[in-house]
Every structure is written in structure tokens, then in C-alpha cells.
Amino acid sequence: MGQGTSKSSSPSTQHVFASDTPVRFSQELIDALQASPETDSTRAKDLELHIQSRVNAELSRLEAEQTRALSDLEDQISATPDSTTETSHTPSQPGVPDQSASKGGRDHGAKTDGDKLRDLGRQSVQKEIEELRQKLKQRKLREDIIGDKAVEKAKRDMVTCLRLNDRRPLDCYKEVEAFKREVGKLEKDFLGRILQ
């Protein structure tokens, strides 16, 4: 027991398939197939390497295209005059002389690096100011919501009821409805202020 193999080992690795219709191949094709050193695994590896090389070539082509497009856009951006800087140097502003028209001023289109940095600084400050205004508006809105005592009381009552009846939240329907009513009033007031 145990000394014999469970599978019989066949000395031949040749497979023979019987077909109802005769299939004829030329002897040259059969000899070429039998003489070929390629196996399924080597063909699969070759195919995988071929696919990888094509993918790498395509990725490098796309990267070069994107780099070229980015450099073109950067050139276009640096070549176009900035509209915010042109309007900020109007002679109507008090205390700012019109240097473009003066004899000792800058050339009409040429800017120094310092002017570009100044313009970028001015733009970033304006952007920060606008962001702060938006935050201030949101804060006022939050203060309106938080400052409403009726909503706060309804919220406290609802939370207290839900904590006491954590296994039976449907017992708190009165508190939930009162909270919904107060929030509805707050929404109506808010919409009334915005639409006016």
C-alpha cells in the first residue's frame, strides 16, 4: 500500500484526437510546429512584454504631449497682458502717477520682475480679502441660526427625549415635530431676508 502511484505515467506526451472529418495538414507545417521551441508560457511572456512596451511607449508619448501643451499654455499666459494690472494703474487714482505716459516711465508693454511680483502680491491680497468676506457672511449666517433661542430649546428638548428613549425613539414624535416647526420658521425667515 502506498508504494504504487495513483496515476499511470505514460511514456508518450503525444495527444491524438479523432475527428469525424479528415483534417489534413501539410507535412511541412507539422514539422515546423514540432521543431518549434516555443511553448504556451513563452508565448504568453512574449505577448506580455510586447503589451508592456506598447503601454510604456504610449505613456511616454502622452507625457511628452502634456508637457508640450503645458509649456505652450505657460508661454501664452506669460505673453498676455494682465487685465487687473492695467486697470490698477489708471491715472484717475489719487496718489498714483501714470508712469506709462511719462518720459522716464516704463515701456508700454514691458514689466520688470518687481512689478510682476507686486501685481501678484496685490492679486493675492485681493483674493484673501474676498475669502474673508465670504467667511464673515457665513459666520453671520451661523450666528443667526445659533442665536435663535426657540430653535435651541426645541433642539435641546428633542435631544433630551431621544436620549431618555433611546430604545423607543418614536415616543419623541412631539419633540421632533416641534423642532421641525421651529427650523421651518427659521428657514422661512432666512428665505424672506434673501429674496428681499
User: Is the pTM here over 0.85, yes or no?
Assistant: no
Highest mean pLDDT among 51-55, 83-87, 127-131, 185-189: 51-55
pLDDT of residue 37: 78
pLDDT of residue 160: 93
pLDDT digits (tens, 9 = 90+) for 96-145: 444 444 444 444 455 676 676 677 777 888 888 888 888 777 766 666 65
pLDDT of residue 187: 85
pLDDT digits (tens, 9 = 90+) for 27-67: 888 888 788 777 778 888 888 899 999 999 999 999 999 99
> For residue 16, what are the CA distances in angstroms to 12, 13, 19, 31, 130?
11, 10, 10, 16, 82
Categorize the per-residue pLDDT at 3 as very low, low, confident or very high, splitting at 50, 70 and 90.
low
Tell me, what amino acid is at 79? A
Q: Residue 134: what are its φ and ψ, rounded to 5°?
A: -60, -45
Task: Please report, rounded to a whole number, the percentage of residues in the chain having pLDDT higher than 70.
Answer: 71
Categorize the per-residue pLDDT at 6 as very low, low, confident or very high, splitting at 50, 70 and 90.
low
pLDDT of residue 139: 67
pLDDT digits (tens, 9 = 90+) for 149-172: 888 889 899 999 999 988 888 889
Please compute the mean of the pLDDT values over residues 3-10 and round it to a whole number.
57
Longest dimension (CA), the chain: 112
Straight-line distance from the first to the last Cα atom of the chain, in angstroms, rounded to the nearest whole number: 98
Q: What is the DSSP secondary-structure string of 175-186?
A: HHHHHHHHHHHH
> For residue 174, what are the CA distances in angstroms to 6, 56, 155, 160, 166?
78, 66, 12, 12, 15
